[in-house]
Structure 1
Amino acid sequence: MKPGGYVHNDWGPRELTTANTGRRSGRTRRDVPAVPARRGLVFEDATSGWVGELLRVERTAGMVVMVLEGRGGRTRTFPLGHGFLLEGRPVEIVDPATVRPSTAAPVAPARTASGSVRTAPSRARVARASRIWVEGKHDAELVEKVWGDDLREEGIVVEPLGGIDDLVDAIRDFAPGPQRRLGVLVDHLVPGSKESRIAQDALRLPGAARNVIVVGHPYVDVWQVIKPAVLGIDAWPVIARGQDWKTGILAGLGWPHAGQADVARGWQRLLGSVHTYTDLEPALLGRVEEVIDFLTVTG
């Protein structure tokens, strides 16, 4: 694989570039907000990609550390400080014991569904030549619902591919370059998967190095990036191998599932349950922010 093009998921190493350092809109390390280490917050270690919920803060050997619980109940300990993402954005994690309570409650700025500070209305920006590609219509609708305001401000268009089996040919036809970059968001991007092999082949194409990024989440379908608690369930239904996945999910939820019309209605019901980024799994949040940064940060 050529330098600068890379496949990223939460189960393997990744190359750190401006695509994942949170530098959108000229942000520097000095501008990174300080966040007290509070139980229940979900952080991502920017170096290893570890994502976990903060269980507790410990003081040991003159250091203050936090314990994060990741997938499957596994835990890891990290020192407080820089190098972490909260809902896809860089933060400095600080000792809550050192944070002085404010005498007056601050007024929270108006925010978009993605958590960005909402800017004053401006003239619509002409679309960039760069694009975000997603696998299908449902992916595109979900990204639009949560990140639509950000994307319109940046002039970025999201296009569904209808699957990634033909990703190599599609990127070749797109002809990526420094002013024509491409971010691809893939379902089920895990080591050894068909999707991972296709992504690696795509990144070997001429022009892909430094101009194409392929990132993904571990879930079978974008439906699963919606937190189960948002739907009032403990976990997504487990679907047997060989069964149509979406039909099986709807059946497991006790929703109509007789045909494609029911699948379409089921998706709209799921999409309607999503209001802000907090309704989605961190495994997706960081990846979308990473793609937006990759397409908009220069230098």
Structure 2
Amino acid sequence: MTTANTGRQSGRVRQDVPAVPARRGLVLEDGASGFVGELMRVERTAGMIVMVLEGRGGRTRSFPLGHGFLLEGRPVEITAPGAAGTNSAAAPAAPARTASGSVRGATTRARVARASRIWVEGKHDAELVEKVWGDDLREEGIVVEPLGGIDDLVGAIRDFEPGPQRRLGVLVDHLVPGSKESRIAQDALRVPGAASNVLVVGHPYVDVWQVIKPAVLGIDAWPVIARGQDWKTGILAGLGWPHAGPIDVARGWQRLLASVHTYTDLEPAMLGRVEEVIDFLTVSG
């Protein structure tokens, strides 16, 4: 699977970062997502040159060449291989990819669902995960279920009865130190069987709406909502969109969701957490 690599677009690159030609066998870490993998090949796709890294469990992800990588713990710039290199940047045809950036399999048949599950807070979270990672989740046999909030996460996990063959990955909004959500997550991991079979991760944003990059909507930043104001209504008002009631909120979300086409439209804080949960549920150990 693929994660965004926002660090490679910055113009504030230190001059002492060495340039390293892309070559098969390099073990690199993506600074934005923390993904570590061996460089398998370089290819041209969607008008850009990317390299394919293979990480744990054989999972692959593609990244554009450039800055934002670590080689043996040190920052490097990955450049195109030389003409004599074993990896040609001018690959004749790039493989088809899913919205998450992973290579699409030869068949689209869904795997029989695992007992393990991904839980998200609400319907909007589930729809966003489905839009970007749906093909990958069907291939892995993972079902995403909305909880309708996490206030009773402890009880829900207890009823689920997690175990080695029945694991849970929980994606939480606003999971920051000291928040209500972080306290609920800590309590949830004390449920019998949860310690090694439940993973609770989250992004720092108030709501999943904010994991969509502002630039995708043609704005510089998300509107700031005053304390005490309904957050989603305030966001829609700040965007200049209809915001009179629940119908406008539903339509506003569909408009936001329609703006998302691939993983590159989402913030790295969300990308890394979804990939972490999928790895947790599919990679042994």
What is the correspondence of 1:206-285 to structure 2 with a 5 Å cutoff? 206-285=192-271
**Equivalent in the alignment of 1:8:** none
Q: Give aligned-pair identity as a percent.
A: 79
Return closer, same or farther for 1:125/1:88 CA change in 2, 3 Å cut-off.
farther
1:279 CA drift (Å): 0.5
Contact 1:57 1:64 in 2 (8 A): no
Residues matched between the structures, number: 239
Return closer, same or farther for 1:64/1:154 CA change in 2, 3 Å cut-off.
same
Return closer, same or farther for 1:260/1:122 CA change in 2, 3 Å cut-off.
closer
- Name stretches of at least 5 consecutive residues in structure 2 with no aligned partner: 21-25, 40-68, 70-75
**Equivalent in the alignment of 1:64:** 18
1:86 CA drift (Å): 5.8
Contact 1:125 1:155 in 2 (8 A): yes
What is the correspondence of 1:146-225 to structure 2 with a 5 Å cutoff? 146-225=132-211
Aligned Cα RMSD in Å? 2.6
Please state whether the residue corresponding to 2:18 is helix, strand or coil. strand
Please state whether the residue corresponding to 1:204 is helix, strand or coil. coil
Return closer, same or farther for 1:216/1:126 CA change in 2, 3 Å cut-off.
same
Please state whether the residue corresponding to 1:215 is helix, strand or coil. strand
TM-score with structure 1 setting the length: 0.73
Residue 132 in structure 1 maps to residue 118 in structure 2: yes
Q: For residues 180-200 of structure 1, what are the alpha-carbon distances to aligned partners after superposition, in whole Å with 9 as ceiling and x for unaligned?
A: 000000000000000000000
Please state whether the residue corresponding to 1:214 is helix, strand or coil. strand
C-alpha separation between the residues in 1 aligned to 2:98 and 2:212?
Answer: 18
Which structure ranks higher in relative contact order (CA pairs < 8 Å, sequence separation ≥ 6)?
1
Contact 1:57 1:65 in 2 (8 A): no
Please state whether the residue corresponding to 1:104 is helix, strand or coil. coil
**Equivalent in the alignment of 1:70:** none
Q: For residues 228-261 of structure 1, what are the alpha-carbon distances to aligned partners after superposition, in whole Å with 9 as ceiling and x for unaligned?
A: 0111111100000000000000000000000000
- Name stretches of at least 5 consecutive residues in structure 1 with no aligned partner: 1-21, 23-32, 34-39, 44-51, 67-79
Contact 1:41 1:54 in 2 (8 A): no
C-alpha separation between the residues in 2 aligned to 1:98 and 1:123?
Answer: 36
**Equivalent in the alignment of 1:82:** 28
Residue 289 in structure 1 maps to residue 275 in structure 2: yes
For 1:114, the aligned partner's letter is: S
1:95 CA drift (Å): 3.6
What is the correspondence of 1:4-43 to structure 2 with a 5 Å cutoff? 41-43=5-7
1:84 CA drift (Å): 2.6
1:169 CA drift (Å): 0.4
For 2:18, the aligned partner's letter is: V
C-alpha separation between the residues in 2 aligned to 1:132 and 1:289?
Answer: 11
Contact 1:88 1:282 in 2 (8 A): no
**Equivalent in the alignment of 2:81:** 99
